Amino acid sequence: MNPTRLVRVLRASGRSARGFTLLEVMVVLVIIGLIVGTVGVAVFGQLERANRRQAGVQIKAIEQALDAYRLDNGQYPGTAEGLEALVNRSEGGECYLKGCKVPKDPWDNDYVYISPGQHGEGYDLESYGKDGADGGEEDVESWNL
């Protein structure tokens, strides 16, 4: 269709060829903002739950290594020895963790290990979560798994 003819048709129909009004653009932007905000909250909530699940899985793996250590040595490593006792190869020691390395929690902090424990096991093992402080809502604790 010829562009001049299109302009004539638009003028005849009472519409102009100017484009969208400011109000129409703002309504579309608000709708897009609401959609992005809703999806963003859902995605970040899933990420936090995934990090907590990963910390729980890592704690279970460390617990298995601690149990193997106790079978070989008669007791769990003390607090002073810490989780490093599970990967210390000095004096002919065995490596109890995969990769011979103590993992960091999903928030890149060290797991907290205390032996003897105060929660019915021979040790307490936990991650302080995202805030890195004890007592937070996102703490992942071996005695609550």
pLDDT classification of 93: cutoffs 50, 70, 90: low
Determine which of 2-6, 14-18, 21-25, 141-145 has the lowest per-residue pLDDT on average. Answer: 14-18
**pTM > 0.85: yes or no:** no
pLDDT tens sequence across 34-70: 988 888 777 777 888 899 999 999 999 999 999 999 9
Mean pLDDT of the region 5-17: 61
**Cis upstream peptide for 116 (omega within 30°):** yes
Domains identified in the chain and CATH numbers: 24-144 (3.30.700.10)
pLDDT in tens, 108-141: 999 999 988 888 678 999 999 888 888 877 889 8
Cβ atoms < 10 Å from Cβ of 114: 14
Going by pLDDT thresholds of 50, 70 and 90, the confidence category of residue 31 is very high
What does DSSP say about strands 140-141 and 124-127: parallel, antiparallel, or unpaired? antiparallel
- B/e letters for 57-93, b = 16+ CB within 10 Å, e = fewer, are ebbeebeebbeebeeeeeebbeeeebbebbbbeeeee
